[in-house]
Amino acid sequence: MTSPLNPLTRFITDKANCWQLSEYLSHGGYDGLTRAMKMSSDELLDTIKQSNLRGRGGAGFPTGLKWSFVPRGADAPKEKYLIVNADEMEPGAFKDRWLLEQTPHQIIEGLLIGGLTLGATQGYIFLRGDYYLAEERLLQAIEECKQHQLLGRDILGRGIQGQAFNFEIHIHSSAGRYICGEETALINAMEGKRATPRAKPPFPQVAGLWGKPTIVNNVETFCNLPHIINFGSDWFKALGKGQDAGTKIFGVSGRVKRPGLWELPMGTSIREIIEHHAGGMCDGYRLKGFLPGGGSTDFLLEEHLDARMDYDEIGKLGSRMGTGTIIILDDQYCPISMVLNLVRFFAQESCGWCTPCREGLPWAVSLLEKIERGEGELKDIEQLENLCDFAAPGNTFCALAPGAVEPLQSALKFFRQDFEAHINHQCCPYHDELAPKQTATTETHSRINANRVEGT
């Protein structure tokens, strides 16, 4: 088969059953697994390292390097676990849902290759609880694989170095908390504990699920593995337009003509994604700013449209590529209202473990609500800036609070005149009629904390 330019989405066709095993096999599905079963675990890990695949969940950590920390060899623990993080709770992110619903076998094949690489025999898919169609299709795909000897004992009836390859996959339907995007909080949730991050070290690669070596990676990350093994690391690196290898599922939401998802080379410009693939802004609206990688990234502006969507370049601009799902802010929507909506979400999703997150985020919500109601004071802006410093990296137990304040801190930087206009005119210049009139700031703080306690 000719090496594809769109490896992740080539299985997604107009056929209603494109997600089923027969269709997946007809497009070269499980060819990567067949090739992997002829390779040693060292060869597999080296191929993944050489591919420069970076985690597609948001952090962008090199996958091969992460996997290399897992103990292997005769002295390694016999039980190891692979976990697909399919919780996808990031505001503005919907890329993994597409893959889960339309190509579940690709995820299964990625898990099987991971099992061969690390000597694991158990895989889990930690699935967002309200992804009902995804769960239904994953369960059917798992059953199809069992019927065709692609899961279970002695997979494909081909021994590896004299031993049968056994692998099982389980679906863990999550009760749903954004904090489960942090891998150790996810592991705690799977163990039936409160979803709070763990102290590190030890890292999950050494002591994770039930104290055993564990790898947690995003849906899209696992989906890349069959193609890297099948077509090679050099092919994968050549797909990218810059330093980052491979393709990426990019998305756009907001007031654009064609919101959606597209598989494009890593390093595709933001302008191409928004203006060509998403069709540009809707008639009558102009671009004011955008979050390049979901709700926990810093705003960028129109002047940044020609930047490439890769981890390093977006980082140099003061933001993060994150999930690669762009959220548009147009010139007729209030930036304070948008930031308030995001920070309120993060405040409610906090696990409550550390003070900057537990107390700082609800207080930021209270101040933003006060400003949006037209009751703000100029000193509130200074307090919000102090809260951003309070929740900065290094001051919190995990990355939830630092990510939560990224849209706020960049809004204060780029849209400060909007904050001042709310305060000086004592109303929201964009949609004052929609601003909440009743809630007091202290009531908001108490309400968010109460909701968090009830949800744990």
Phi, psi of 289 (to 5 degrees): -175, 180
Q: What is the CATH number of the domain that holds 401?
A: 1.20.1440.230
Same structural domain for residues 220 and 345?
no
In a domain, 326, yes or no: yes
Same structural domain for residues 78 and 130?
yes
Q: Which residue in the block uniquely carries the two structure tokens 């169609």?
A: 133
Same structural domain for residues 64 and 204?
yes
pLDDT score of 161: 62
> How far apart (Å, rounded) are the C-alpha atoms in residues 388 and 361?
9
| pLDDT band for position 378 (cuts 50, 70, 90) | very high
Q: Pick from 177, 206, 239: which residue ends a domain?
A: 239
Structure tokens at 243: 């330093």
Same structural domain for residues 64 and 120?
yes
> pLDDT by residue (tens digit) across 53-84?
999 988 889 999 999 999 988 888 889 999 99
DSSP state string for 342-404: HHHHHHHH----SHIIIIIHHHHHHHHHHHHTT---HHHHHHHHHHHHHTSTTSSSSSHHHHH
In a domain, 2, yes or no: no
pLDDT score of 1: 59
178 alpha-carbon distance from chain centroid: 10
299-326 burial, b for 16+ CB within 10 Å, e for fewer?
A: bbeeebbebbbbbebbeeeebbbbbbbb
Contact 331, 286 (CB under 8 A): yes
In a domain, 16, yes or no: no
pLDDT score of 159: 62
Same structural domain for residues 300 and 349?
no
Burial class (CB in 10 A: 0-12, 13-18, 19+), 379: exposed
| pLDDT band for position 439 (cuts 50, 70, 90) | very low
In a domain, 421, yes or no: yes
User: What predicted TM-score, i.e. pTM, was given to this entire model?
Assistant: 0.90
Strands 81-86 and 325-330: unpaired
Rounded to whole angstroms, what are the CA distances from 220 to 63, 68, 198, 317, 410? Answer: 12, 19, 24, 25, 28
Same structural domain for residues 227 and 258?
no
Coil, helix or strand for 332? coil
Same structural domain for residues 173 and 253?
no
Same structural domain for residues 255 and 136?
no
Query: Averaged over 46-59, what is the pLDDT?
Result: 93
**Number of structural domains in the chain:** 3
In a domain, 11, yes or no: no
Q: What is the CATH number of the domain that holds 102?
A: 3.40.50.11540
Q: Pick from 330, 362, 382: which residue ends a domain?
A: 330
Query: Averaged over 432-446, what is the pLDDT?
Result: 43
Same structural domain for residues 73 and 189?
yes
Contact 336, 428 (CB under 8 A): yes
Structure tokens at 242: 């810059």
> How far apart (Å, rounded) are the C-alpha atoms in residues 60 and 107?
19
In a domain, 425, yes or no: yes
Least confident of 172-176, 314-318, 373-377, 411-415: 172-176
Q: With 50 as the cut, is the pLDDT of residue 392 above it?
A: yes
Coil, helix or strand for 249? strand
In a domain, 401, yes or no: yes
Same structural domain for residues 159 and 228?
yes
Q: Pick from 330, 349, 367: which residue ends a domain?
A: 330
Same structural domain for residues 228 and 258?
no
Domain of 433, in residue numbers: 335-455
Same structural domain for residues 367 and 412?
yes
Query: Averaged over 360-364, what is the pLDDT?
Result: 96
> If you average pLDDT over every residue of the chain, what do you get?
91
Q: With 90 as the cut, is the pLDDT of residue 387 above it?
A: yes
In a domain, 7, yes or no: no
Q: With 70 as the cut, is the pLDDT of residue 432 above it?
A: no
Query: Averaged over 127-132, what is the pLDDT?
Result: 93
Q: Work out the percent of the chain whose per-residue pLDDT is above 90.
A: 84
Q: What is the CATH number of the domain that holds 319?
A: 3.10.20.600
Q: Which residue in the block uniquely carries the two structure tokens 């309400």?
A: 447
